[in-house]
Amino acid sequence: MTDFPTCAGPRISRRGLLLGLTAGFVLGGTRLALADAPGDARFVVVLLRGGMDGLSAVQPYGDPAFAALRGPLALPEPGQEGGVLDLGGRFGLHPRLAGLHALYRANEALVVHAVAGPYRSRSHFEAQDLLESGAMQRLSSGWLNRALTALPRTGRREAGLSVGLDMPLLMRGPAAVQNYAPGGVMEVNDDLMARIEGLLSRDPTFGPVVARGREERRFTSVVLEGEEMGGARRNSLATLGEAAGRLMAAPDGPRVAALEAGGWDTHVGQTERLNGTFGQLDRGLEALRQGLGDAWRRTAVLVVTEFGRTARPNGNRGTDHGTAGAAFLLGGAVAGGRVAADWPGLGEGKLFEDRDLQPTTDLRAVAKGLLRDHLRLPPAAVEQAFPDSGAIAPMGRLVRA
């Protein structure tokens, strides 16, 4: 690993009922989940659905084979009009990721390139399931939820809070997870909630669930008081990021979050589409930072996708499902300002199956390093989160000492 430094049909359960009676954000194709962790550390996982093209997000313009391989998808080099944002002489960020680039220059963002999970599937659904379950096969729970079971209770809220009408597999499992649905998605007025609570108050199964839902509804109403969720803002990733940050910054709020956004499956007209999605991602991450306020300095954010995309463009000026790509780490707790990559190269004979960027780093190593060094989970808990991964050592030097 080399560092390249900066130049500067489910059945309804009690949990399911709680999902329906408590609170969450569903903004277009974007969903958010939050959870509780001990101490002051905050941890956020951002899932980019559809397969982000890592070679566009972080362009390896210093690789001599890159320009010819990418053809019309290659952006100008740093310093040229519309060029990528330099990361130290070999790699450059997409120009719509200016906010992320500023964090990189402030040593608060790190890029991991040529990274992939252990699977070699090019199916969205299978790859997403394996990414979130943290295993070589789909499990009924996600690695982040299993990690939460190892965290000691601190007197805050339940171990998890999902914002939306459902939650990603990443957050499902044995740890208690609650849910918040925003106004305009599933309106349940206070009078109806009170009547439901009264009817079910003596039921030993549903009574405590409804009461807990009311408590969480009050919490989010207080923290997000005055938040306008109507019109276009309801479909803004920046709105989700800001709300997540504010909830996590609250003294008794959640400490671990998972956020997901779609729109990264770029088979056609990739250049134009990525201008929009990278811009939305950049604004969402900046809004998360602003919402966290002072808590940002104790935060680590991991941005991942289910797979990369083909190195060569297809006939529709897009790319197809691939293998390795790029991941981002950002936050005040991150030891940033560098690109961490065991770069495999893009020349003749170096592509995976003669079509994709060759994977050289396992995503599990990155996630395990954050669980160990940022959330400070013991080794047994890290292995519980990622079963049968003993051969994959946690990556070090991801967060500040």
More confident residue, 208 or 287: 287
pLDDT of residue 145: 93
How many other CB atoms are found less than 10 A from the CB of residue 101? Answer: 22
Question: Distance between CA 303 and CA 316 in Å, rounded?
Answer: 27
Residue with the bigger pLDDT between 152 and 1: it is: 1
Residue pLDDT, tens place only, 218-256: 555 545 554 444 433 444 678 778 878 888 888 877 888
**Mean pLDDT throughout 58-69?**
98
Which pLDDT does position 312 carry in this prediction?
Answer: 98
pLDDT of residue 40: 83
Look at residue 285 in the predicted model and tell me its pLDDT.
Answer: 97
362-374 tens-digit pLDDT: 999 999 999 999 9
Least confident of 125-134, 258-267, 274-283, 332-341: 258-267
Report the chain's mean pLDDT, rounded to a whole number: 83
How high is the pLDDT of residue 194?
Answer: 55
Residues 6 or more apart whose CB falls under 8 angstroms from that of 161 comprise 33, 34, 35, 36, 177, 178, 179, 180, 216, 247, 254
Check pLDDT > 80 for residue 300.
Answer: yes
pLDDT per position as a tens digit, 94-119: 999 999 999 999 999 999 999 999 99
Question: Model pTM?
Answer: 0.83
Confidence of residue 345 (pLDDT cuts 50, 70, 90): very high
Query: 232 phi and psi, to 5 degrees?
Result: -65, -30
**Structure token pair of residue 84:** 């990528």
- Among 350, 367, 370, 357, which residue's Cα sits nearest to residue 326? 357
Contacts of 106 (CB under 8 A, 6+ apart): 336, 337
Confidence of residue 213 (pLDDT cuts 50, 70, 90): low
In contact, 110 and 337? CB cutoff 8 Å: yes
Does residue 165 have a pLDDT over 60?
A: no
Q: Of 145-159, 229-243, 279-293, where does the model show the most confidence?
A: 279-293
Please say if the pLDDT value at position 206 is more than 90: no
Average pLDDT of span 328-347: 98
Q: Which of 78-87, 105-114, 159-168 has the lowest mean pLDDT?
A: 159-168
pLDDT at 400: 96
Give dist(CA 244, CA 258) in Å, integer: 9
